[in-house]
Amino acid sequence: MMIAGLPMFAFASSTVCNQADAQYAEEKLSSIENWHDYSIFYKEYNACDTSALSYAYIQTEARLLSTPGGVKAFLKEANKDIFLGNSVVRKAGSDTITAIDSKKILSNLSKECMSLQDKRFCIMLKKKLTSRR
């Protein structure tokens, strides 16, 4: 289904991030330990992934991607939720990702991107991370 020329999946959340949502999101982000939990959280609170809170979202995504197995777990969730996958890739070029995390993520990309289905996100992540240098 198309709305104003955009595919319906482009509108993953119809909610607005109010003050209570923003406070909860900020507190919750630091305790998320895996991509499955992040995916569930992101479906509900992606409206809060803006301005002041973007830093916390990016830091959580970098932390999850930089752990061993993190890229593989991300790919599993991203292939189920394209909106999440594209959002993470879009922010991967952010200067808020540390050089240490960036190196770990690039290492994980080289180890964990095996199947053809995963290549699209892997190529885009690598391009974003290496373009920051």
Q: Could you state, in order of their start, the residue ranges of all structural domains in the chain?
A: 32-131
Q: Where are the beta strands (DSSP E) in the chain?
A: 2-3, 6-7
For residue range 86-125, list pLDDT tens digits in order: 999 999 999 999 999 999 999 999 999 877 666 889 999 9
Q: Encoding tokens for residue 48?
A: 């809060």
Q: Which residue has the higher pLDDT, 4 or 42?
A: 42
Count of residues for the chain? Answer: 133
Q: Encoding tokens for residue 133?
A: 């240098």
Beta partners for residue 7, in sequence order:
2
pLDDT confidence band for 29 (50 / 70 / 90)? very high
